Structure 1
Amino acid sequence: MENQPLIGLNMSVLEQEGADVLRVHLDYPDAVAAAGGWPLCLPALDDPDFLREVLPMLDGVLFVGGADYDPGHYGGHPQPAEELVAPRRDRFDLELARRVLENTDLPVLGICGGCQLLWIACGGGLVQDIRTEWAVPGGGPPLPHAGKDRTGIDPGPYRHDVLLTPDSLAAAGVGNPPGNRVETNSFHHQAADPAHPARHLIVSGKSEDGIAEAVEPGPDTDWTRSGRFVLGVQWHPERMRDEEPQRRLFEALVAAARIRKTRMQNGR
């Protein structure tokens, strides 16, 4: 395929005695490649010159999932260190997200923790633990979004529906499904908090218990007016690539990146 866009991916940092390790689940780069893009994994370097040099080479960015980000970024309560991403990844991811969102027009897809990262980078806050903090509209317990919440439930892959805002980027991204509903997997205990809103972004998808499952630019933002692709989803579509709605998300990112690449090549 010609004119394949280059999609940057952030990576996990595993702190190990003697030698720290960079890691990325292959499902992410495989999904980008299957959609027609070239994945480029970005190591979490502390050198500010790295991002200054590499960002102009990219045509789009995929923010992957992982552990929790430091709640100090959004005024949350402290969490145990073992729940958090490594400090080096935390620093790099926040700087990468802010630079990409504020200083470029690159298309962006955020997955699970990457969705939360977009919300944080735009000044929003998180529900830090859905099971203990979320008040379900109308009462009752929240869905068992995290694996730790699913004691006694069928150990197979847990799924629930997400209701998407009609005519939203999220709905278009999964192919405008009937009833604007899409079935997703679920592996998270945090989520974007609508009570602690983010600049530029709105919630465009919710599960039946009201948890934010998709975020995108609001209708009156420069990103929307310019047609920029910025989308965060709280589930893991890379683990469901055998299903068309989930493949479409990566195809939408790559298509937006290809359009931008062509525009840049033509000097427009």
Structure 2
Amino acid sequence: MTRPLIGISSYGRAGQRQTFSLPCEYVDVVRLAGAVPIVLPAVEGEIPEALAVVDALIFPGGGDVDPAHYGGRQHEANYGISMERDGFELALLRAALARDLPLLCICRGMQLLNVALGGDLVPHIPDQYGDRVVHRHPDVLPVQHDVRVDPTSHLAEILGVTELSVHSVHHQAVGRLGQGLRAVAWSPDGVIEAIESTERTLVTGLQWHPELAALGDERQRRLFEALVAGRRDDAHRRAARRGR
């Protein structure tokens, strides 16, 4: 039996050698879920060919989305902005939505999903929500906090719970929701922690990092297993995708 191929977009070019990179946890958990990970470097021009091959996509974490994409302003806390990565991932995401591919969008990926569908972002959480909940260590390291999940959501169905502790590394958040999206999880301070499509079953955005816990936490691993199980592996649909 052929294993499904899950595309994962890479981080943008960085360092003296301009390296494309990706934390190993994304690769490890996709393999654990029974699929083959395919890392997609953040360069435009090969999106149709990539989408003809993969069965689903993961958009990972990373630096901030350029505020210009949602009509915002630069903030002194902005970091890691990559015009190349933004351009590639926004084009890839919109093309994937048009093809109805299953998507799991993590941290930056969730914010990108919201922006791609016309929403905007909270530039810096403490400015709007205060510091009741810490969402990121000052050294840009993960912290843990609780989230509450809407019991009527597809996310709650996958997780099997409506409350859990998650790993968080972000200073921005989803603001105005994009078209066809609804909020389905929140931290105690009211920050939106998950969104999902009201028009497509398998489009989920998570503000937390499930890949950091999935190897030892069955509930978080189910998020990746659901992505793999929901892949578009029908031969006729795959052929149609290639023909577009």
Contact 2:66 2:82 survives alignment (8 Å): no
Question: How high is the sequence identity, in percent, across the aligned residues?
Answer: 38
Q: TM-score, normalised by structure 2?
A: 0.91
1:132 is displaced (CA, Å) by 1.5
* Match in the other structure for 1:189: 171
* Match in the other structure for 1:28: 26
Q: How far apart are the structure 2 equivalents of 1:100 and 1:171?
A: 24
Root mean square deviation, CA, Å: 2.2
Q: Does 1:147 align with 2:137?
A: yes
* Match in the other structure for 1:138: none
Q: How far apart are the structure 1 equivalents of 2:43 and 2:18?
A: 12
Q: How far apart are the structure 2 equivalents of 1:69 and 1:32?
A: 25
Q: How far apart are the structure 2 equivalents of 1:67 and 1:83?
A: 6
Q: How far apart are the structure 2 equivalents of 1:93 and 1:46?
A: 9
Corresponding letter in the other structure for 1:172: E
Contact 1:130 1:142 survives alignment (8 Å): no
Q: How far apart are the structure 2 equivalents of 1:64 and 1:4?
A: 21
Q: How far apart are the structure 2 equivalents of 1:85 and 1:6?
A: 28
Q: How far apart are the structure 2 equivalents of 1:189 and 1:200?
A: 24
- Give the alignment partner of residue 125 of structure 2, picking from 126, 130, 133: 130
Q: SS of the counterpart of 2:155?
A: helix
- Give the alignment partner of residue 39 of structure 1, picking from 17, 37, 40: 37
- Give the alignment partner of residue 262 of structure 1, picking from 234, 239, 242: 234
Q: SS of the counterpart of 1:21?
A: coil
1:90 is displaced (CA, Å) by 1.4
1:133 is displaced (CA, Å) by 2.4
User: 1:144 and 1:262, CA in 2 relative to 1: closer, same or farther beyond 3 A?
Assistant: same
Q: TM-score, normalised by structure 1?
A: 0.83
Corresponding letter in the other structure for 2:154: L
User: 1:20 and 1:171, CA in 2 relative to 1: closer, same or farther beyond 3 A?
Assistant: same
User: 1:89 and 1:265, CA in 2 relative to 1: closer, same or farther beyond 3 A?
Assistant: closer
* Match in the other structure for 1:71: 67
1:182 is displaced (CA, Å) by 1.6
1:93-148 CA distances to partner (integer Å, 9 max, x unpaired)? 111111111x211100011111111111111101110012236xxxxx43111112
- Give the alignment partner of residue 231 of structure 1, picking from 204, 213, 218: 204
1:265 is displaced (CA, Å) by 6.7
Q: SS of the counterpart of 1:13?
A: coil
Q: Does 1:251 align with 2:231?
A: no
- Give the alignment partner of residue 180 of structure 2, picking from 190, 200, 207: 200
Q: How far apart are the structure 2 equivalents of 1:267 and 1:14?
A: 33
1:266 is displaced (CA, Å) by 9.1
Q: What runs of 5+ residues in structure 1 fail to find an aligned partner?
A: 136-140
Q: How far apart are the structure 1 equivalents of 2:19 and 2:239?
A: 40
Contact 1:62 1:109 survives alignment (8 Å): yes
Q: SS of the counterpart of 2:12?
A: strand
1:264 is displaced (CA, Å) by 3.7
User: 1:265 and 1:74, CA in 2 relative to 1: closer, same or farther beyond 3 A?
Assistant: closer
User: 1:230 and 1:265, CA in 2 relative to 1: closer, same or farther beyond 3 A?
Assistant: closer
1:3 is displaced (CA, Å) by 3.0
* Match in the other structure for 1:96: 92
1:80 is displaced (CA, Å) by 5.4
User: 1:263 and 1:205, CA in 2 relative to 1: closer, same or farther beyond 3 A?
Assistant: farther
Corresponding letter in the other structure for 1:42: L
1:153-178 CA distances to partner (integer Å, 9 max, x unpaired)? xx9x632111111121111221x21x
Count of residue pairs the alignment pairs up:
239
1:60 is displaced (CA, Å) by 0.2
1:42 is displaced (CA, Å) by 0.5
Q: How far apart are the structure 1 equivalents of 2:8 and 2:77?
A: 24
